[in-house]
Amino acid sequence: MAEKVLMLALSPTMEEGTIVKWLKKEGETVKNGDILCEVETDKATMDYESIQEGTLLKIVVGEGGAAKVEQPIAIIGKKGEDVAALLAEIEKSGSSEGPAAVENAGGAAAMGRTTAGGVAASAGGPAAPSVADFGGSAATGNGRVKSSPLARLLAQEAGVDITGVAGSGPGGRVVKRDVESARGNLGFGSGVAGIPAGARSAGPVAGGASPHSAPVAASAVPSSLKSEIVPISGKRKVIAERLSQSMFTAPHYYLRLAVPADAMVKARAALNAKRDRKVSLNAFLIKFAAEAIKRFPSVNSSWQGSTIQMFGSIDIGLAVAQPDGLITPIVRDCGSKGVVQIDAELSVLIDKALSGKLKPEEYNGATFTISNLGSFGIDEFTAVINPPGSAILAVGSIKKEPVVGPDDRIEAKTLMRLTLSCDHRVIDGAVGANFLSTLSSFIEEPVRILF
């Protein structure tokens, strides 16, 4: 008997998913465990594994379309089985369930489905094809361009005029790959939107050097500003909810230090001189933070209302910039790993983060977080605590500054400014201060982690 295939919650915080690509076609056999399609969740692009068997009789939500969790995206049954009744049921329940194809190629009302010519199917009319033809014009009747929210965001950040981009999505819709292609043709390279090619995280990429050390020639950029309402993506919604809850629930306080970083920079240079693959500065910061946490374990804990959860593993997340928000890949059990192993794992995680391929277990549950904006030339900033952790370290740029020495002589030192945000329900001021002081001593004299 034919049955609906429902959108599953592919991450703990997912409320809605967008179909990126169907890997099975209508009429093909589906077995339990087969990958039906790729779904963009609030955090990453995930494989949708079928838990049903039979023939894929109908695709209800086409590529580019969105559906809330528990809404139907397809129908599976016996080959040749009549699915008219199920389609009618899905269409009828659209007003209460929410449209099964919230954002399909034509953005049509009712079921959100579009005919090959781009004409919306009416609520009471015959079912239109679930996937519109690819190619064609992306222009709509009111002069706007059919495009996904992510494509519009990418275009805006890259300075690409989306009205001149050819759409390869359903019904000629402009999607992410189209903007990236247009961006590459303009000479921006293949980096994340708004971030140069090769940029890896929200902090120092290869060496933590400030961008001021390599001036970029200024060039005129045409304005692409437009007045428009941009739909909130699932990821942006979750970010807003989690950080609002953190900011207005956890009583934040902030501790700041300017730390001499010459010894850390030299230690990293000495290590990298013997290696083909360079170890990142972020790996050193993660290692030093883990060593400081060993000495002050209450920093590695979480407020649970009537209890405080003390974590048995030091799982440190690093904030990484994606085109549509931040994600925090996590290196697990940092307390038992050296800087080289941390860097190797971090590199893989960042690559997966930038390609949207992180699994939920790779970005959920950091016990401590580092946010590094040094590569953007930011000297100092404060960060919002990333639940379930109780502290986050904000790292600024490394640069030479005049410092008054013990003998009142002024000398140039390489300083890094750190700001530790703490949840006062869990971390007392003295504990936070001692933790940051200890972390700073490791940065100033890396040999200290040996004793």
Contact between residue 440 and residue 263 where contact means Cβ atoms under 8 Å apart:
no
Contact between residue 395 and residue 373 where contact means Cβ atoms under 8 Å apart:
yes
Token representation of residue 243: 């950080």
Position with higher pLDDT, 112 vs 148: 148
Q: What is the pLDDT of residue 288?
A: 98
Q: Mind listing the pLDDT tens digit for each residue in 89-103?
A: 888 776 333 333 333
Catalytic sites, residue numbers:
424
Domains, the chain, ordered by start: 3-97 (2.40.50.100), 133-197 (4.10.320.10), 234-450 (3.30.559.10)
Q: Mind listing the pLDDT tens digit for each residue in 418-429?
A: 999 999 999 999
Position with higher pLDDT, 43 vs 59: 59
d(CA 107, CA 121): 11
d(CA 302, CA 421): 14
Q: Does residue 112 surpass a pLDDT of 80?
A: no
Burial label for 309, CB within 10 Å (0-12, 13-18, 19+), is middle
Q: What is the pLDDT of residue 103?
A: 34
| Predicted structure pTM score | 0.60
Q: What is the pLDDT of residue 119?
A: 31
Q: What is the pLDDT of residue 14?
A: 81
Q: Mind listing the pLDDT tens digit for each residue in 264-319?
A: 999 999 999 999 889 999 999 999 999 999 999 999 999 999 999 999 999 999 99
> How crowded is residue 269: how many other Cβ atoms within 10 Å of its Cβ?
11
